[in-house]
Structure 1
Amino acid sequence: MKNRLLAILFLTASLSSCSEFLNLKPEYQISDQSFYQNQNDFETALVGVYSTTRGLYSSSNIQYMTELTTDNAEIQWSSPSADEMQMDQNGVTPTNAFVRAVWSSCLYTISQSSNILNRIDAVNFDQTAKNRIKGEAQFLRASSYFYLVRLFGNVPITNQTFSSPAQVSSADLTLKPQEEVYKQIIADLTSAESLLPVALNADKTRASQMTAKTLLAKVYLTQKSYDLAATKLKEVIDAKQYSLVADYKALSTNGNTNLAETILEVDFLSGQSLGNNFSAVFTPAITSMAIFPNNLQGSGRIVPTLDLIRSYEAADARKAISVNDSVTLIGGRKSYSRYGLKFVDFKAVDLSDGTVAFTILRYADVLLMYAEVLNEQGKTSDALPYLNQVRQRSKLTALAGLSQADTRLALERERRVEFLYEGHRWFDLVRTGRAQTVLNAHYASQKLNFSVQDFELLFPIPQTEIDLNPALKQNTGY
């Protein structure tokens, strides 16, 4: 029984990180005689893969790397860690804990997914269920590779299942060119698209066909393959499985699960170590504030910049829903302090155990991506209606008569406020080639003596991985 439980938890001695390749323990090795014998075993294993992805979001690791590194957010407390300051000042080093956490989490998800895919065809059970499981595993593997290639550039590609240290030692774990990584991502998502059910999945924590199409479109957009991206996005739009919710606030407050706009989400549960820390990280480190039960104190680690707050148009309904610059203190007095409202559980009795779901993909992103690809194809007048659907939900007037260049900037501004705290800002700026222009101007306006250099558009490979695996080569500049 002990070995079976360990099998469920670890799903083989696999790549939690490259360092763990070299520390395989016999009790972690999976036995084909005790597991992966029927549909239930594979369903259990798949739940384990989804559980692994939770760590990317529950501890705000994605927000540290994609929001705190941008003009959206800053640290606002007196004793930040060196790792947090590196993110805030774009001075990230190879020993940074957030870098390693994301690297390890993604590689572990890739390994778990591969374990399922490498074994499932050898077991006989219902083909429809088998196809769904394979499609979900391929989607999760592709999603993790997509994070890795955008954050780190060249990364290892391995779809092997390891059952001994000898197999690990003989494997090719060198960094592969980004083109090969994208080829793997597209292959996985294309296969997942064909295997996953066409019908809308009522449980938005699980992938279905439109989930795969949406991520594949984002991959094509990132590669500037606008024709391919447009095709996939139009398929999602024409399927009419999703729609914008009327109330923007509903997207990021208690009870925000399985909404009509949501394409993929991560749910959280309090009281069982399955919550998130958004309520602590996004709110002020003020001991006398009275915004939570029992007057709990936040940590001020990822709070909105003044520049972000000023970026909202005057009539934008999202501003009051997303950010605040006035905190209520015990006794009722107000104090100036900027903080985030989205995904904060204001009912939480433990600020590291919040229950508000995190949205990974949603329909507003589909609309704005489609507007972007149409604009890049020279179809600016066709693009604006999709941009305006998102604007008008937030009580803003429709845009008209913009040039292609002006539409690019309008989309950049729109995505910034629409997806605050959702892990898009860094990727958006890098994808459009605007990261250095925007971020360096932001630092200069704050009279801050640091900037984003060319090599810093990629993050460093974790040093611990390079120390333990000489086959890995550090990214240039680190």
Structure 2
Amino acid sequence: MKKLVLSKALLALVLLVAFSSCNDKDDEGSIVGGSSVVKSDEEAVALVNGVYGPLQTVSSSFSFLIESATEGTISFEGEENEAGPEVSRFETKPTTWYPVKVYSRLYQAVGTSNDAIEKIGASTAVSEATKKVSIARAKFLRGLSYSYLVQLFGEVPLVLQTGTSVKTRSSINDVYTQIVKDLTEAEADLPEYDSSPIIPSKGAANAILARVYLAWGHNPLTQDQLAEIANSSSDPVHVHVDNAKLTKAVEYADKVIKSGKYSLLSDYTKLFGRSNESKAPEHIFTIRHDGDAVDAQGNHQTHCAFTFAFDLTKDNHIGPSNVKQHDDWDAADTRREFSYTTYLENPQENNKGYYFLPPVTLPRFGKGIDRSYENSVNHAITTNEVDRIEIRYAEVLLIKAEALAESGKTGEALPIINQVRERAYGNTLHNLKSLTVDDVRKEWGYEFVYEQKNWFNLVRWKTLIATVKTVKDFEHFDDSYKTAGGTGKDGSTVNAFFAKVYKHLHAKYDNVRGKHYRFPIPTGEKGEDLGITPQNPGY
């Protein structure tokens, strides 16, 4: 069995359910609590591993929040009134399933972490060594969960004990302070390194700390600041950085870099897929998945990006919003075709070639197409077993480069960016001679297509609205694509797919507002009011 270290815990602590689609509303309440007394080291490890259950259930859902709510992605998951299309059109409501699910499951992870910290800490039957590392893992996972909650929802309640019901929203700074506390305390007792990235290590804690300080250092909008622009179609004017926090981001990135345990994999395309998952030296921390029939929920990132494989007449659940992203990219960059796949051969049809291009369709997110073993291109979309990459070494490099560049130290950031580019091009011929902050931001876009970074980046840089409004420059924003059966600007007959693309591009342009710097505080999974007030501005 794959990755046994977690499977026992999940079988004991998680109700296993299978799903046939990404919009998995039937998995409500799948996380089950553990025993009241921790009687052995094995039980302590199992209790902490139970935290992974809720985190497994949001691996795919992150795609629909963090990718779809940007200019570069559209979701045609199900009918137009389904959750994916709602997020894609910037029509998210407190009852929209994806924010509901993500909010709920992250708090389930927090609650399970609290339970583990308290019970393991109180046990007299657990060895001191196991107690230290188990509590450290629980704090790491709690800090990670809150790092998502504060970025997605802003001020959120800090729930740090079991048996408590906290409705009061803590300030942004208080939440980040707790995240840093959890992660630094975890780092102190985690192992220096683990060859399996599914197990938290000092490297993982330091990498997440670097990410956290980068986000915090950009001074996230407060509730009051967001209220100023909630209904505005302009980005905020509160654009400044905290150099002290950016220095901390560099400090923690350096701990990862100077540890000597991590490096860029020489072949970018070998970072993804079932045969390449959770491997050193680039993967630092990953969320394990064994598929729908085994873990709390399989990772549908593959299924959603290549839902109907080579059937070009059906709409994938999630995909690129235009072909411009591919066409404007330097063809010498090996990341281009793997990120926006425009051609693929089907091994089940004697390698018949298919083009994913207008006027028939749009490119596919290539990282969601598993090409790591024989016929995996057709197999992985049904098994949903590929581990989710939470953080990899390239992100640590870009975190450091951005923190330096934002602090005016572009000269120090330049060789870091070129290190990433050298891997992408396979040589030094495309190294930059000088660097701007915009160059760093572009490199984020090139490196992390469909890796759940884009919305976070745009929010951090406070460029979300302006960036989303660039959809007006996309080919299929043109009014000639409004109606299926008409003649498009490119001379083709407009099919139903591109009429939907037109609708989503216009909805993005018309609907995006300042309120979209956060998602709404949602209802509970059964539609109940959670009693957390005030609601985020504009919702």
**Structure 1 length-normalised TM:** 0.84
- Mapped to 2, the partners of 1:363 and 1:356 lie a distance apart of 19
**Aligned letter for 2:140?**
F
1:211 aligns with 2:272: no
Give the one of 49, 52, 67 matched to 1:50.
52
**Aligned equivalent of 1:21:** none
Residue type at the aligned position of 2:141: L
Q: Distance in 2 between matches of 1:30 and 1:377?
A: 46
Q: CA deviation at 1:441?
A: 2.2
Query: For 1:460, which of 509, 516, 520 is the aligned residue?
Result: 520
The superposition leaves residues 260-308 of structure 1 with CA deviations (integer Å, 9 ceiling, x where unpaired) of 101011232247344322332112647746xxxxxxx975121123232
Alpha-carbon RMSD: 2.7
Q: Which residue of structure 2 lines up, in the alignment, with residue 477 of structure 1?
A: 538
Q: Distance in 2 between matches of 1:247 and 1:369?
A: 21
Structure 1 residue 126: Cα displacement? 2.4
Residue 214 of structure 1 contacts residue 232 of structure 1 at CA under 8 Å; is this kept in 2? yes
Unaligned runs of 5+ in 1: 11-23, 163-167, 290-296
Q: Which amino acid aligns with 2:280?
A: L
Tell me how far apart the structure 2 counterparts of residues 251 and 239 of structure 1 sit (CA, whole Å).
21
Shift of 1:29: 7.3
Return the match for 1:345 from 339, 345, 370.
Answer: 370
Q: What number of residue pairs does the alignment pair up?
A: 437
Alignment identity in percent?
28
Compared with structure 1, are the counterparts of its residues 376 and 272 closer, same or farther at alpha carbon in structure 2 (3 Å cutoff)? same
Q: Which residue of 1 aligns with 2:420?
A: 390
Q: CA–CA distance in 2 between the matches of 1:66 and 1:469?
A: 23
Residue aligning to 2:271: 251
Cα distance in 2 between the residues matched to 1:310 and 1:95: 37
Deviates more, 1:47-56 or 1:386-395: 47-56
Assess if the C-alpha contact under 8 Å between 2:211 and 2:399 holds in 1.
Answer: yes
Partner of 2:275: helix, strand, or coil?
A: coil
**Residue 317 of structure 2: which of 278, 301, 316 is its match?**
301
Corresponding position: 1:433 with 2:462: yes
SS at match of 1:476: coil
Q: Does 1:442 align with 2:471?
A: yes
Match among 310, 313, 325 for residue 327 of structure 2: 310
Q: 3-state SS of the aligned residue for 1:276?
A: coil
Q: Which runs of 5+ in 2 are unaligned?
A: 1-8, 16-28, 218-244, 479-505
Q: CA offset at residue 191 of structure 1?
A: 0.6
Map of 2:305 onto structure 1: 282
Match of 1:196 in 2: 190
Contact 1:279–1:298 (Cα < 8 Å) also in 2: no
The superposition leaves residues 334-355 of structure 1 with CA deviations (integer Å, 9 ceiling, x where unpaired) of 3433212214335254624233
Mapped partners of 2:94, 2:292: distance in 1:
34
Cα shift at 1:30 = 6.1
User: CA–CA distance in 1 between the matches of 2:404 and 2:262?
Assistant: 20
Matched, 1:184 2:200: no
Distance change >3 Å, CA 387–CA 333, structure 1 → 2: closer
Q: Secondary structure at the match of 1:56?
A: coil
Cα pair 2:55 2:106 within 8 Å, conserved? yes
Whether the aligned pair in 2 keeps the contact of 1:174 and 1:471 (CA below 8 Å) is: yes
**2:149 equivalent to 1:156:** no
Q: Is the 8 A contact 2:196 2:280 kept in 1?
A: no
What is aligned with 1:272?
A: 293
Q: Which residue is equivalent to 2:223? A: none
- The change in CA–CA distance for 1:430 and 1:85 in structure 2 (over 3 A counts) is same
Q: Write the distance in 2 (CA, Å) between the matches of 1:137 and 1:234.
A: 24
Paired letter, 1:468: D
Distance in 1 (CA, whole Å) between partners of 2:460 and 2:329 is 22
Cα gap change, 1:137 to 1:5, in 2 (>3 Å): closer
Q: State whether residues 210 and 252 of structure 2, in contact with CA within 8 Å, keep that contact through their aligned partners in structure 1.
A: yes
Matches within 5 A, 1:411-422: 411-422=440-451
Residue in structure 2 matched with residue 238 of structure 1 by the alignment:
258
Alpha-carbon distance change, 382 to 351 in structure 1, aligned in 2, over 3 angstroms = same
CA offsets 1:423-478 (integer angstroms, 9 cap, x no match): 11110111111212211223565362424211111100113479433343311100
1:71 equivalent to 2:100? Answer no
**Structure 1 pair 72–334 and aligned structure 2 pair: CA distance change class (3 A):** same
Deviations 1:129-187 (A, max 9, x none): 2111111100100111110100000111111112xxxxx5xx43222221211111111
Q: Tell me the CA shift for residue 93 of structure 1.
A: 0.9
Partners of 2:328 and 2:52 in 1: CA distance: 35
* SS state at 1:230 partner: helix
Residue equivalent to 1:19 = none
Conserved? CA contact 2:299–2:388, under 8 Å: no
1-structure distance, mates of 2:274, 2:12 = 34
Amino acid at match of 1:365: E
Contact 1:71 1:308 in 2 (8 A): no
